[in-house]
Amino acid sequence: MAQQIRDLVDTWVIYRSEEDPGMWVAHSLNTDQIALGKTVLEACAALKPVIRSLLEAAEADPTIQVLNPAPKEVRDRLRRAKPLSGDLVNRAEELLKSNRRRAEPREEGVENFKTEFDLTAA
């Protein structure tokens, strides 16, 4: 039986997609879940409900394994990643709805970002 996890402190690495350079990938290091977006904030906003759905599914079905570490090559990106504000990521959906693109992180030459925050099943 898998361990039930209702709350998860997770670390994400956000990087440009190798398959589609116009897209960003938000990748959970603790669950190996991913989401794509045209911007860093879109990728983060897309990953939040994926992780929440995983937690809810695992709560309903204890055989679902939540903790599944991302591959080494993804975890290695963490060392090169620039921190993103957890508040910025938590507000990603709100900022995107209000079309405040100026809040999008813009760092010349930065290809990896990282963030950490708490997620709770609804």
62-106 pLDDT, tens digit per residue, is: 899 999 999 999 999 988 888 887 777 777 777 666 655 555 555
pTM: 0.76
Question: In this structure, is residue 109 part of a structural domain?
Answer: yes
Q: Which residues contact 11 (CB under 8 A, 6 or more apart)?
A: 28, 29, 30, 78, 114, 115, 116
Region 29-41 average pLDDT: 93
- Identify whether 2 is part of a domain: no
- Within-domain flag for 51: yes
Q: How far is the C-alpha of 105 from the C-alpha of 109, rounded, in Å?
A: 12
Number of domains in the chain: 1
Range of the domain at 47: 7-120
Comparing CA positions, the residue from 90, 84, 78 lying closest to residue 119 is: 90
Question: How far is Cα of residue 6 from the mean position of the Cα atoms in its chain?
Answer: 17
- For residue 1, being part of any structural domain is answered with no
